[in-house]
Structures are given as C-alpha cells and as structure tokens.
C-alpha cells in the first residue's frame, strides 16, 4: 500500500499529523504501509510558484490513495485563479478522475447535543451524500468575466455529459444498495435543463436497481428538508455544486464541520481522502483544530480503497471511544469546559486503537 500525504495549508499539517499517528499504530501492528509527502496548495505555491506541481501530481498517480489535509488561505486570495490553492484540489479531482465523492454525515451518540439542532431531530442520523466532482459549473466552459466597468458580465456554464451523469448515479444506486436502499436524487429541474437531463437519466437507470427506492427532490427543498427532518434521507446523489453546498449544511447536523470525512473515488477504487472542512486559517498552528474528520477520512480509505473493513471500523470505534471518554476539541466542546487540543484528541484515538 502506498499513500501520498498532502498536508496543504492552514490546519492541514496539524490534522494530518494526527492521522499519521494512527497509521503508526497500525504499522506497529504489522501493517505494511508506505507513505510519501508532497507539497500542495499555498505551500506548493510558496515553494514552487505552482499549487499543484508536476512532482506532486506524479506522486498521486503512483500512489494507491491520497490523504489530503486542506488548502487555501487569505494571503492567496488575490492571486491569479490558476495559481490559487483551490486549483490544486480541483486539478487533482479532474486529473485523476476522482468523480465520486462520498460525504457521510453521521451523528455519534456522544455528540447528539453538540448540534445546533435539537437532539430529537438529529440523533441517530446516518446519511450519505454522493457528490459528483468532475463536471458541472465548476468546470464548464465558457467561463469568465468580460467587458468594461460598469457593464462587465460574469458567466459560468453548468455542463454535464450523459456518461458523467450515468456513472455518478450508478455510484449512488450501488451505495444505496449497501445501505438503507433509499436514494434521493437532487436537482433543479424546474429551472435548469442540465438537471432535467440528470433526472431523466436517474429514471432510466432505476429499473436496474429494483430494490432501491428512488425519489427526486429540488435542491432548495432538499436544503430545507435537511434541517427540518434529516432522518428521512439515506443516500443523496447530486451534482458538484449542489453537493458542495448541501454537504456543508449536512455537516452541521453532526455538531461540527470538523467531524465530516470524505472519499473521492475514481472508477477503480483509488481515492483521495480529505475532511470536508477547509484550511481554517483563523485557528491554524494553534493546536485547536479537530483532527477527527481527517482521521475518519483515513478510516474511509481503508474501507473503500483497501477493502479492509476491520481497520476502518476499528478506527471509527477508536474515535467513538475518545469521544466517550469526554474528549472534545473546541468546535464540539460545551461552553465553559476546557477543550482538548488537536494532539490530545489524536493521541486519545491512537491509544484507544492500540488497546484493542
């Protein structure tokens, strides 16, 4: 197994360090894992003038999986768009065809009251958002800003090919088959033709999965239903843009965006694993960040790329054990309590994993 470690910017390095601590425990138990680090995002721009250097891309192509921290920061926001840190993650998704993004939102019983929503609305929540990552308005052409003040025009293009839609819908159906067998496809077909095509294809594919109950929902309604009654959902499948927004929304059902892991898979099980949160420059380097989304992303790596459910479940159990001990980083700590540091949380998860 070869894993590329791309820490990136902001809190990326400190949360990835905690994931590596878990890897070290597994190594100690005899698991053979090779890791190699590379620069990405703002850190790579600072060193090489390029947020996604060829060397980094090469390492990713040679690896079985990627653990990715986060990229971005205010000091890069004024750079030309193709030099910005975000270009690195978008480029990796596109270049490696990591099209299927799985974003599970699970409420750990220990954290049912950490959500801003009432515990009776979120407790027991377990939904999976399947987001397409290589198409949509993120990549569609033409795009840009033209003209002169005060009459400039900005434009982006929502664009999906039928094969792109088909393969992500198949991912959604297959994941639903392995879970609660309910798939909700989210679109905006009342306004956007691209998403009418999406809905039509979903209907065409549905007979291939007779055991899955397919439903459709408009994205605005879905945003509302996610806070009204999130437990109605099992698997949500949607495009790049809607999935970006809905997954941030869903993360708060779990108490904190610092808890949400993700997997981005190509068609062969290779994957990039990253927390859904960003680089959080406001708290970077202070040991305050929650490493659990990163650690849970690594659990997903063992599940989806290495097919090792035992290790995946073991890491998830160790996370729950750390929470059950009462450990809380600042984002999930109750007011007036003293939060655990990034390293304390990582160490507690590692210790729990080691003792099992």
What count of other Cβ atoms lies within 10 Å of the Cβ of residue 274?
A: 28
Q: DSSP letters of 26-86?
A: HHHTT---EEEE---THHHHHHHS-SS-HHHHHHHHHSSEEEEEE---GGGTTS-GGGSTH
| 274 lines the binding site for Mg ion (CB under 5 A) | no
Identify whether the C-beta of residue 3 lies closer than 8 Å to the C-beta of residue 34.
yes
Q: Which stretch binds Mg ion (CB under 5 A): 58-66, 88-96, 243-251, 341-349?
A: 243-251
Of 90 and 353, nearer to ligand IPM (C-beta) is 90
* 174-233 residues near ligand IPM, rule: CB under 6 A: none
Q: List the x/- string, 237-266, binding to ligand IPM by CB under 6 A.
A: -------x----------------------
Q: DSSP letters of 308-324?
A: -HHHHHHHHHHHHHHHH
Can 126 be counted among the known catalytic residues?
A: no
Nearest distance in Å: CB 157, ligand IPM: 16
89 binds, among Mg ion, ligand IPM, none (CB under 5 to 8 A by kind): ligand IPM
Q: Which stretch binds ligand IPM (CB under 6 A): 34-42, 85-93, 201-209, 307-315?
A: 85-93
Q: Is 237 helix (H, G, I), strand (E, B) or coil?
A: strand
Can 244 be counted among the known catalytic residues?
A: yes
Q: List the x/- string, 272-291, binding to ligand IPM by CB under 6 A.
A: ----x-x-------------
Nearest one of 32, 2, 1, 8 to 274, comparing CA atoms:
8
The residue annotated as part of the active site, out of 244, 288, 304, 331, is 244
Q: Is 214 helix (H, G, I), strand (E, B) or coil?
A: strand
Please count the residues of this chain forming the interface with ligand IPM, following the rule CB under 6 A.
6
90 binds, among Mg ion, ligand IPM, none (CB under 5 to 8 A by kind): ligand IPM
Of 293 and 332, nearer to ligand IPM (C-beta) is 293
Nearest distance in Å: CB 16, ligand IPM: 16
Of 86 and 266, nearer to ligand IPM (C-beta) is 86
Q: Is 5 helix (H, G, I), strand (E, B) or coil?
A: strand
Nearest distance in Å: CB 69, ligand IPM: 12
Residue with tokens 């840009």: 144
Q: Is 181 helix (H, G, I), strand (E, B) or coil?
A: coil
Q: What are the helix (H) ranges across the chain?
A: 12-28, 42-48, 54-62, 86-95, 119-122, 162-177, 193-205, 219-228, 240-251, 292-304, 309-324, 342-354
Rg (CA), the chain: 20
| 244 lines the binding site for Mg ion (CB under 5 A) | yes
Of 112 and 280, nearer to ligand IPM (C-beta) is 280
| 86 lines the binding site for ligand IPM (CB under 6 A) | yes
110 binds, among ligand IPM, Mg ion, none (CB under 5 to 8 A by kind): none
Nearest one of 168, 195, 193 to 183, comparing CA atoms:
168
> Which pair of structure tokens corresponds to residue 238?
């949607």
Identify whether the C-beta of residue 227 lies closer than 8 Å to the C-beta of residue 235.
no
Chain residues that interact with ligand IPM, rule: CB under 6 A: 86, 89-90, 244, 276, 278
Residues carrying an active site annotation: 138, 188, 220, 244, 248
């Amino acid at each position: 197994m070869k894993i590329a470690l791309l820490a990136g910017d902001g809190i990326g390095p400190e949360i990835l360090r905690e994931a590596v601590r878990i890897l070290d425990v597994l190594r100690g138990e005899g698991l053979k894992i090779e890791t190699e680090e590379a620069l990405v995002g703002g850190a790579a721009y600072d060193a090489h003038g390029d947020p996604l250097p060829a060397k980094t891309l090469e390492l990713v192509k040679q690896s079985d999986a990627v653990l990715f921290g986060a990229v971005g920061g205010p000091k890069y926001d004024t750079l030309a768009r193709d030099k910005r840190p975000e270009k690195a993650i978008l480029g990796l998704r596109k270049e490696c065809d990591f099209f299927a993004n799985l974003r599970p939102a699970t409420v750990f019983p220990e954290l049912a009251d950490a959500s801003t929503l009432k515990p009776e609305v979120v407790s027991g929540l377990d939904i999976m958002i399947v987001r397409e990552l290589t198409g949509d308005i993120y990549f569609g052409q033409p795009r840009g800003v033209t003209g002169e003040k005060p009459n400039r025009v900005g434009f982006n293009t929502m664009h999906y090919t039928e094969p792109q839609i088909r393969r992500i819908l198949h991912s959604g159906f297959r994941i639903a088959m392995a879970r609660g067998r309910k798939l909700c496809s989210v679109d905006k077909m009342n306004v956007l033709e691209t998403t009418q095509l999406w809905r039509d294809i979903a209907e065409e594919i549905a007979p291939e999965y007779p055991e899955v109950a397919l439903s459709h929902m408009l994205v605005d309604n879905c945003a509302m239903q996610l806070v009204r009654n999130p437990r109605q959902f099992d698997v949500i499948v949607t495009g790049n843009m809607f999935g970006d927004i809905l997954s941030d929304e869903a993360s708060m059902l779990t108490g904190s965006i610092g808890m949400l892991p993700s997997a981005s898979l190509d068609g062969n099980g290779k994957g990039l694993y990253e927390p859904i949160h960003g680089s959080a420059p406001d708290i970077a380097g202070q040991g305050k960040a929650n490493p659990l989304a990163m650690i849970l992303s690594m659990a997903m790596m063992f599940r989806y790329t290495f097919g090792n459910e035992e290790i995946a479940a073991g890491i998830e159990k160790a996370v729950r054990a750390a929470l059950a001990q009462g450990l809380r980083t600042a984002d999930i700590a109750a007011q007036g309590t003293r939060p655990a540091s990034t390293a304390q949380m990582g160490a507690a998860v590692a210790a729990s994993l080691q003792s099992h």
